Amino acid sequence: MMEHADRHTDAPHAAGRGADALLKRRLLVSTGLTCVVLAAELAGGYFFNSLALMSDAAHVFMDALTLFLSWFALHISEMPPTEKRTFGLHRVEVFVSFINSLSLILITIFIFYMAYGRLSLPEPVDSVGTFIVAAVGLTANLVVAMWLMRYTASDLNVKSAFLHVIGDAAASVGVIIAAVIIYYTGWYLADPLISVLIGLIIVFGAYGIMRDSSHILLEGVPKGIELSRVAADIKAVEGVMGMHSIHIWSICHNVYALSAHIDIEPMQRRRMAEIFEAVNERLAQSHHIFYTTLQAECSGCDNGDMLRRLTHRERGHLH
C-alpha cells in the first residue's frame, strides 16, 4: 500500500500571495526613486570627478535591484504554475540575484583599480557638488526606509531590502564626510579611501547574495533549518514509527519545501491522514515549511537511510 500526502498551502509568507497592494506600490515607487538617485550619482561622480560617488552609485544599484526583486517576488507569486514550469517562475528571482551580485563584484574590482591609481596620484574633486548629490541620495534612502519599515516584521524579503537601503544611507554619509574633509582641508585622498570602504561593503553584501542564491540553486537545506531537528519533530508525532529519505530545499527565498517517507505504526495506519496533517502542522509552525510531500509504506526503501542517495537511471530501466 502506498499513500501520499501533498500539502501546498497558500500561506501569507509563501512569496507574498495576496500581498498588500500598498506594499507593492511602495516597492515600485522606491525602485524608481532609487534609480533616479543612481542616475544622479553616476552623473555627479563623472562631472565632479568623485570616485566615492561612483562607488556609492554601485551600492545604489544593488539597492535598486533588491527593491525590484522584492516587488518581483510578490508579483510572480500570483502567477499560476504551468505544465512546463510546475513551480512557476519563483526561481527567476534567485537566478537574477546570483547574476547581478556577480556583476557587482566585477564592478567593485574596477572601482578598486581606479582607487589604487588615485591613492598614488590624487585628483581634484568638486566637494560642493559631491556633497549635494550625496545629500540628495541620503534623503531618498531615508524616505524609502520609512516607507518599508512597517513591513519588515512580517516579510523577510522586504526586511532584506530595508537593510540594503539602510546600508546605502550609511554609504551616503561616508561620501558626505569625504566631501566635507576635502572642502575644508583639500585632502583629496579622502575620496578614494571612502570609495574603497564602500567597495568593501558592496563586496560583502554581494558575496552574501551569491552564497545564498547558489545554495538555493543547488537545492541546499534552507538557512536556519536543521535537518536533524526536523526529523526529530516528525518522529515525535504520535503514530510515527520512523522516517527516512528526507529532502528539504528552497523553491525561492523564504519558500521552503520538504519530501519524506514516513513509517506509520501498523496499529495507527487507519489514522494516516490525521497523522500526516499533524506532521504538516508541526513543520509549518516550527520550521516555516508549508509545501510538503509525505509518503507512507514505502516498499523497497532502506528505512535506515535518512538521506537517501539519488541514483541516475536510464529511461526504461526499472533496476
* pLDDT tens-digit series, residues 259-303: 999 988 888 888 899 999 999 999 999 998 999 999 886 555 555
What's residue 15's pLDDT?
40
Residues 53 and 144 placed together within one structural domain of the fold:
yes
Total domains in the chain come to 2
- Please give the residue range of the domain that contains residue 66: 21-217
Residues 167 and 290 placed together within one structural domain of the fold:
no
Residue 208 clears pLDDT 50, i.e. is over it:
yes
With respect to residue 129, please indicate whether it lies within any of the assigned structural domains. Answer: yes
Residue 218 clears pLDDT 80, i.e. is over it:
yes
Residues 288 and 205 placed together within one structural domain of the fold:
no
Measured distance CA(319)–CA(316) in Å, rounded: 9
**Residue-wise pLDDT tens digits, 177-198:** 999 999 999 999 999 999 898 8
What's residue 276's pLDDT?
93
What's residue 31's pLDDT?
92
Average the pLDDT over each of 1-5, 21-25, 44-48, 103-107 and give the range with the smallest value: 1-5
What's residue 16's pLDDT?
42
Measured distance CA(27)–CA(70) in Å, rounded: 7
Q: How far is CA 31 from the centre of its chain?
A: 16
Measured distance CA(168)–CA(162) in Å, rounded: 10
Residues 165 and 186 placed together within one structural domain of the fold:
yes
What's residue 306's pLDDT?
67
What's residue 301's pLDDT?
55
Counting every residue, how long is the chain? 319
* Global pTM exceeds 0.95: no
Mean pLDDT across 31-50:
92
With respect to residue 3, please indicate whether it lies within any of the assigned structural domains. Answer: no
Residues 77 and 27 placed together within one structural domain of the fold:
yes
Mapped onto helix, strand or coil, the DSSP state of residue 94 is: helix
Mean pLDDT across 47-70:
87
Residues 186 and 235 placed together within one structural domain of the fold:
no
